[in-house]
Amino acid sequence: MSWKTKIPFILVFCVLLAACESLKYYRQAVNGQLYIFVHRKPIASLLQDSETNLVLKARLESVNRIRAFAASGLQLPLGSHYSTYLDLERPFVVWNVFAAPEFSIQPLVWCYPVAGCVSYRGYFNARSAQDFAADLQEQGNDVYIGGVAAYSTLGWFSDPVLNTIINRDEYQLAALMFHELAHQVVYVPGETEFNESFATTVEREGLQLWLQADGSEPAAKAQLAINIKEDLARQEQFIALVQTAVADLKILYEGVQTDADKRLAKQQRINRLRDDYVALKNQWQGYDGYDAWFARDLNNAQLATVVTYNSLVPAFTTILREANGDFSLFYQNAAQLEQLNPAERQQKLQMLMTQ
């Protein structure tokens, strides 16, 4: 089915589904996706075009190198993904709205065709995301809006390269592409924690292999290895910091205190999280990559996003280790978890977490 036939199919499907919350929401989603796929241009053509900016050409050549490695080194399903480019002339492709109750880390979920139930709602327009977030906040929820630089259409379309990611360092671009391509290998509708942890594992392990295959000069390659190692270490320290706070908040929310006492204790714990970050940052020799995240009014919805994307990574790392680093076998074994019912899948993952 071509993308030209998929668009009307999705529209009709949404009209017929009782679960569709509003035609207005789905209309903006379809229009946003349609704009991207109508206006994207083949990277091969841009590389041959004498009018293409030389800096952009160099970036697109990097994309082609990463694509080749994703297929040969990680056995990821490449197809025509990331073979086109589009400048959206905005910093993000979509804005995701996350929400959670005032005294719970468990995020609200919304259900959609194909993707199932997920813990966010995406908008191609920032103002629309803000309006929806305001409605959720009026209902007493903690709300967080996160700008998204790239996402996977789960094989429904050929995902393009966008200006929102093209200027990243090559290894960061590689990590993102590995992550998004991984969603086409294993994806359980409605299980964000499972899906994102799997993709994060492919991203991290794939990046290490990509580094080994890099043909740069020894000195440059050594520096790149240091940069990647430092990035991963800081990320793990950040995640641990947030997960510790989340664990404390869960205990607080399950307690018998009054709402007023919980509200006060919640703010105190969040304040301590900020202080802990300042102390951690002092060890990073000026690195400020998480400053923007902490500059927000931290709440349950924002904290939950960190837990969702990383909590099951140790389980998938174990599966990859048991496959002796064979990615094809790793994908097969991970896909077997899709066949289990949710309770069995969670039990198996928890067992893997302890190995």
- Please tell me the number of Cα atoms within 13 Å of 136 on its side-chain side: 24
pLDDT per residue as tens digits for the range 301-328:
999 998 777 789 999 999 999 999 999 9
SS3 assignment, position 214: coil
Structural tokens at position 188? 């359980």
**What pTM does this model have?**
0.86
Q: How far apart are CA 182 and CA 210, in angstroms?
A: 15
- Contact of 161 with 60, CB cutoff 8 Å: yes
The first and second tokens of residue 242, run together, are 């947030």
- Gyration radius of the chain over CA positions: 21
pLDDT digits over 267-285, tens only?
999 999 999 999 999 999 8
Distance CA(198)–CA(247), nearest Å, equals 22
Q: Comparing C-alpha atoms, which of 123, 161, 99, 135 is closest to residue 305?
A: 99
Find the mean pLDDT for residues 254-263.
97
- CA contacts within 13 A on the Cβ side of 168: 19
Say which amino acid occupies 225: A
Calculate mean pLDDT across residues 123-150: 96
Angle between helices 218-253 and 300-310 (to 10 degrees): 130
